[in-house]
C-alpha cells in the first residue's frame, strides 16, 4: 500500500484509509469477531489509517476490543463535539468536548489518540474560543497528538483559514467537486493534512436506482452529469472510477472508505495498489461536466 505524509503532522499514512461508521452502526457487540476480521484484514493488507467517531454508535468499542493489541500498527483518528453514547450534556461545549475525548480513550483502549477532529461544527461553534481551547488542552495533555476538523463548505473554510488545525477532513468525489476550486488548494498551501470522506459518492455514479436515501443527491447529480453521454476511457468498474478520480487530483493525502465486507475491502486495496491511475482525460471530462452542469452544488455534509 502506498503511503503519504499527512501534511504538517509528518504521520505516514496509507493512501487508502478505513472509515468505521459502518461497523458502529451495522454490527452489535456480539459480532465483535466480524469487526476483528475486517480490522485485522485492513492492517494485514497495509491500511494503517483508521477513522472513527464518538458518534458512530459502538465503533470505538469494537475497534478497541478487536485491535488494541496492535496499537503501534495504525494511526488512530476519532471525532468529538456532539453528545453521544448516552452522555448527558449539550453539543459543542468545552465539557462535552473534554469528556468525549476521555470516553474515546477508554473505548479505544489506548493512552493517546493520534488525531482528534471536531465533527461537523457550525461556524458559530468554531468561533467559540472555549471550544477551541478544550481541543488544544487535550493536545497539550498528550491525549491527542494532533487536532483536526471534519467539515464542509463554510465551516471547512473557516477551519482552513484559522490556522488552528493540523488536518482537514472533507467531502470530495466525482459528483461533489466544489472543494477542488478553493478549499483543498488552500488547505494544501497551509500544509494541512487532507483526508477525503465519501470518495466513492455512495456508489451513486452509474447506479440504475437510487442506492440509498443518503445518496439521493449524489444519484441526481450523477444522472445530470451522465446525460451528456458516455465518457471514453472510463473503467468498467464504477468504484475504480470513483477512487481513480480522487487519487488523480493530488489534493488529498488519504481517502477513507467504509465497508463491513472483507472481500470488498480487499478489492478496494487491489484497485489502489494495482489498477490506478485512470486516464487523465477521463478526469478532465468529469471536471468539465461538473463545471458545466452544476448549479451551486455545495458539498454534502
Catalytic residues: 56
* Residues sharing a CB contact under 8 Å with residue 206, sequence separation 6 or more, in sequence order: 222, 226, 238
Q: List 77's β-bridge partners, or say none.
A: 51, 115
Identify whether the C-beta of residue 4 lies closer than 8 Å to the C-beta of residue 13.
yes
Query: Grid coordinates standing for 230?
Result: 458516455
Residue the block writes with cell 494541512 = 192
Q: At what angle do helices 280-293 and 238-248 cross, to 10 degrees?
A: 90
- The CA-atom distances, in angstroms, between 234 and each of 1, 60, 96, 200, 210 are 24, 37, 47, 15, 21
Amino acid at each position: 500500500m502506498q503511503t503519504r505524509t499527512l501534511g504538517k503532522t509528518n504521520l505516514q499514512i496509507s493512501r487508502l484509509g478505513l472509515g468505521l461508521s459502518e461497523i458502529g452502526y451495522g454490527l452489535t457487540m456480539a459480532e465483535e469477531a466480524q469487526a476483528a476480521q475486517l480490522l485485522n484484514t485492513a492492517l494485514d493488507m497495509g491500511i494503517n489509517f483508521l477513522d472513527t467517531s464518538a458518534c458512530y454508535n459502538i465503533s470505538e468499542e469494537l475497534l478497541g476490543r478487536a485491535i488494541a493489541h496492535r496499537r503501534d500498527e495504525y494511526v488512530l483518528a476519532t471525532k468529538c463535539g456532539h453528545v453521544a453514547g448516552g452522555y448527558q450534556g449539550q453539543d459543542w461545549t468545552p465539557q462535552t468536548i473534554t469528556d468525549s475525548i476521555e470516553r474515546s480513550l477508554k473505548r479505544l483502549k489506548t493512552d493517546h489518540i493520534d488525531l482528534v477532529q471536531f465533527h461537523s461544527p457550525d461556524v458559530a461553534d468554531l468561533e467559540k474560543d472555549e471550544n477551541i481551547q478544550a481541543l488544544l488542552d487535550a493536545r497539550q495533555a498528550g491525549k491527542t497528538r494532533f487536532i483536526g476538523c471534519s467539515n464542509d463548505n463554510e465551516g471547512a473554510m473557516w477551519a482552513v483559514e484559522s490556522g488552528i488545525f493540523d488536518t482537514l477532513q472533507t467531502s470530495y468525489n466525482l459528483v461533489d467537486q466544489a472543494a477542488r476550486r478553493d478549499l483543498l488548494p488552500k488547505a494544501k498551501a497551509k500544509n494541512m493534512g487532507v483526508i477525503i470522506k465519501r470518495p466513492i459518492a455512495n456508489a451513486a455514479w452509474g447506479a440504475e436506482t437510487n442506492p440509498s436515501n443518503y445518496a439521493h443527491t449524489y444519484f441526481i447529480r450523477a444522472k445530470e452529469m451522465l446525460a451528456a453521454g458516455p465518457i471514453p476511457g472510463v473503467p468498467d468498474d464504477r468504484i475504480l472510477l470513483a477512487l481513480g478520480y480522487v487519487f488523480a487530483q493530488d489534493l488529498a493525502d488519504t481517502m477513507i472508505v467504509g465497508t463491513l465486507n472483507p472481500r470488498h475491502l480487499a478489492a478496494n486495496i487491489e484497485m489502489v495498489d494495482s489498477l490506478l491511475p485512470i486516464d487523465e482525460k477521463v478526469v478532465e471530462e468529469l471536471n468539465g461536466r461538473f463545471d458545466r452542469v452544476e448549479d451551486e452544488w455545495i458539498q454534502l455534509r
